Structure 1
Amino acid sequence: MLRKPFFIKLLHWEYWSFNTVYGPIIPIWLVLCARARSFFFFSASNPTIMNGGFLMESKKQIYDLLPEGFYPRTLFFALPAKGECVVNAVRTAGLKYPLIAKPDVGGRGRGVRKVNNEEELVGYSQESALDFLVQEYVPFANEVGIFYVRMPGESKGRITGIVSKEFLAVTGDGVHSMRELVMQEKRFILQLPALEIMFGSRLNEVLQAGEKRELVPYGNHARGAKFLDHSHLADDALLNAMDELCRQIEGFHYGRLDIRFESWDLMKQGKSYSVIELNGAGAEPTHMYDPKHSLFFAWKEIIRHWYILFRISRRNHKKGIPYMSFSEGRRMFRENSEFEKKIARLYV
């Protein structure tokens, strides 16, 4: 019974809905709004990112802010996008398979797909109902989310949290099918409907003993990745590397960088890593989702980061960066609500 999805979600707060987790602490958010005299003060946190990176921001526009060489080579395609045109653009750019395709606006890993050849890329182009990106697949085995903040006018920032990610993968024993292996791990059981769509009958394959198969190559909590709090690894060398990068991102002061990297030592030297996502004001301190942490720890981390966001936004506002108007904010939330309904229907 405890392996049924309902009970798995009920007994592990990390799977609770946004409203359930955030609802009890909303009064604190409202206090910050009152102090800022704006419900949408967060828009001033990262003035070069649409809406401060809180909602509805374009991934392509964010990549354009990053210095070349620090993120995967990326192509943008607006709808309607013919499959043959997408394939030709990829050929011309010299991108090699496998590639990652994903919506330009999105979240929770929805619509992200690894495409292994031209046929799969054409299929993604035909199925996509949103403007999308095609980018190089970063082959580094490790993925981490580094939460970085820097007060406006200061050259030195801080790392306020680090989350390491274990992808959804199974290891064969020569006896059980991949489906049966998935059913042995509660975290994976929740992903079974999506895995059935992705793999179909291939889930019945029996892997050889010791053979590891990565089923979801994305470090996303909603796609089955396990998040581990490795904030203790935030030393001076890592901060120096992040400072070196983030000072080059105009107007970026608050958010989480999701990074694929070869090794900690090389990343601390500013080598062999790639920023696959940059999340702004709407970024969560995802290290809180480590299964060892309680809901009370999560509330503490959320509130701590809200206060940092408030301080950064207020300082930028005092320097002349306007807050989003009430009508603009309402429109942003309305558009996001409509978008969430649409993307939930369209993508696994």
Structure 2
Amino acid sequence: MNTFQRLLHRPFFIRLLNWEYWPFAVVYGPILPVYFLLAARARALFFFSASNPSIETGGFMMESKKKIYDILPAGTYPRTMFFALPADVSAVVHAVREAGFRYPLIAKPDIGAKGMGVRKLDDEAELARYCEESPMDFLVQEYIHFEKEAGVFFCRMPDETCGRITGIVRKEFVKVTGDGIQTIRQLILKEKRFILQLQALEQMHSGFLDAVLPNGVEQVLVPYGNHARGSKFLDDTDLVDAELQDVFNTLCTKIPGFYYGRLDIRYESWEKLRKGEAFSIIELNGAGSEPTHIYDPRHSVFYAWNEIIRHWFWLFRISRANHKKGIPYMSFAEGRQMFRDNTAFEQKMEQLYV
């Protein structure tokens, strides 16, 4: 690797030359006037709160994951247990054991924050440690072993019986393939996307990064599809067809009060997914959802702006239609408090989790 290539592999230049890593304010700042125009039309700055009446804040932020799982059709998501603080470690371990959960498991905070605090637990000792360290209510879920993960964005007007898929993102996990010579750390340093995750990976895997994988052996380092945790997002929207539309329309119309958002799913194969088979909803995200197919490295920031605005118009139309049915908009005071609570929550999470 020459000097120029080494320069391009420095985190500063990786972020500078790839818009998908730009700060939120830099990406969204130029198009915020569009949002404010929509808010003016709605006569409510936080009009989005009416988009999904069955979800707190419409699913914009600070919503409980447990309450969302409670409205999903039975059997469409992993078996999940909720634990409120203060949680007794031995009682949590016993409850999970009695429920018949098998390791590995997934643990996550009840309120999400960009993937922070999500962990894969391989045994009871790790569950006990998570319980001891968790600063907030948390969920324990069965691990879904389907190898593929995607996000399906769905929109439906409240008076319509049929909605539509407006975007699909396929997620590639953080993984390396051994060559029998280089350590895992050396393999990580060859991929720009993974370089940005090195500190987090070192905390997650410690000395394991110094291991040498046999030639051709793959190792998944982050077992869930989160962009902030290094997953590569690819736009598969062109794969949407009538059959897939029917599957997700049938599913989403069974979720009461859900009209706008993204379903993050694990699935076995695309062929089975198109038949509504062999998949599980990992999370449902509401008004705060991004159309994450924009983060495909092939897309420009101009494409991203167009897609974000297109989805804001969907959000506006759905929210206004629900408001006309009597669903109130969040007041300015409530919205301001929501943002304050979220800022304090994220700061706390950043101090505790990678």
- TM-score > 0.5 by shorter chain: yes
Other-structure match for 1:160? 166
Question: Does 1:298 find its partner at 2:304?
Answer: yes
Other-structure match for 1:196? 202
Aligned-pair distance for 1:264?
1.2
- Residues 109, 218 of structure 1: 8 Å contact kept: no
**Equivalent residue in structure 1 for 2:95, among 80, 89, 92:** 89
- Residues 5, 189 of structure 1: 8 Å contact kept: yes
Q: Deviations over 1:2-45 (max 9, x none)?
A: 11111100110000111110011111100000000000100000
Superposed, 1:248-259 pairs within 5 Å as 248-259=254-265
**Equivalent residue in structure 1 for 2:133, among 123, 127, 148:** 127
Aligned-pair distance for 1:106?
1.5
Aligned-pair distance for 1:107?
2.5
Other-structure match for 2:329? 323
**Equivalent residue in structure 2 for 1:236, among 235, 242, 246:** 242
Aligned-pair distance for 1:85?
1.1
How many Å separate the matches in 1 of 2:152 and 2:305?
Answer: 19
- Residues 167, 291 of structure 2: 8 Å contact kept: yes
Identity fraction in percent: 63
- Residues 16, 22 of structure 2: 8 Å contact kept: yes
Other-structure match for 1:36? 42
Other-structure match for 1:148? 154
Q: Deviations over 1:102-129 (max 9, x none)?
A: 0000132110000010001001111111
Please, which runs of 5 or more residues in structure 2 have no aligned partner?
A: 1-6
Q: Which has the larger displacement, 336-345 or 42-51? A: 336-345
Q: Normalization by structure 1: what TM-score?
A: 0.99
**Equivalent residue in structure 1 for 2:268, among 262, 265, 285:** 262
**Equivalent residue in structure 1 for 2:9, among 3, 21, 43:** 3
- Residues 234, 293 of structure 2: 8 Å contact kept: yes
Question: Does 1:22 find its partner at 2:36?
Answer: no
How many Å separate the matches in 1 of 2:52 and 2:214?
Answer: 49
**Equivalent residue in structure 2 for 1:56, among 59, 62, 69:** 62
How many Å separate the matches in 1 of 2:233 and 2:96?
Answer: 33
**Equivalent residue in structure 1 for 2:78, among 72, 76, 79:** 72
Aligned-pair distance for 1:143?
0.3
**Equivalent residue in structure 1 for 2:183, among 177, 190, 198:** 177
Secondary structure of the equivalent of 2:166? strand
Q: Deviations over 1:110-162 (max 9, x none)?
A: 10000010001001111111111000000000000000000002110010000
Other-structure match for 2:223? 217
RMSD (CA atoms): 0.6
Secondary structure of the equivalent of 1:282? coil
- Residues 14, 192 of structure 2: 8 Å contact kept: yes
How many Å separate the matches in 1 of 2:338 and 2:330?
Answer: 10
Aligned-pair distance for 1:83?
1.7
How many Å separate the matches in 1 of 2:152 and 2:62?
Answer: 21
Match for 2:47: what amino acid?
Answer: F
Other-structure match for 2:124? 118
Other-structure match for 1:104? 110
Equivalent residues, number: 348
Please, which runs of 5 or more residues in structure 1 have no aligned partner?
A: none
Aligned-pair distance for 1:325?
1.1
Question: Does 1:46 find its partner at 2:59?
Answer: no
Aligned-pair distance for 1:95?
0.9
Aligned-pair distance for 1:67?
0.7
- Residues 268, 278 of structure 2: 8 Å contact kept: yes
Aligned-pair distance for 1:256?
0.2
Match for 1:16: what amino acid?
Answer: W
How many Å separate the matches in 1 of 2:275 and 2:91?
Answer: 39
How many Å separate the matches in 2 of 1:277 and 1:323?
Answer: 24
How many Å separate the matches in 1 of 2:41 and 2:126?
Answer: 51
Deviating above 3 A after TM superposition, structure 1's stretches of 4 or more consecutive aligned residues are none
How many Å separate the matches in 2 of 1:63 and 1:171?
Answer: 35
How many Å separate the matches in 1 of 2:338 and 2:228?
Answer: 23
- Residues 113, 349 of structure 2: 8 Å contact kept: no
Aligned-pair distance for 1:195?
0.6
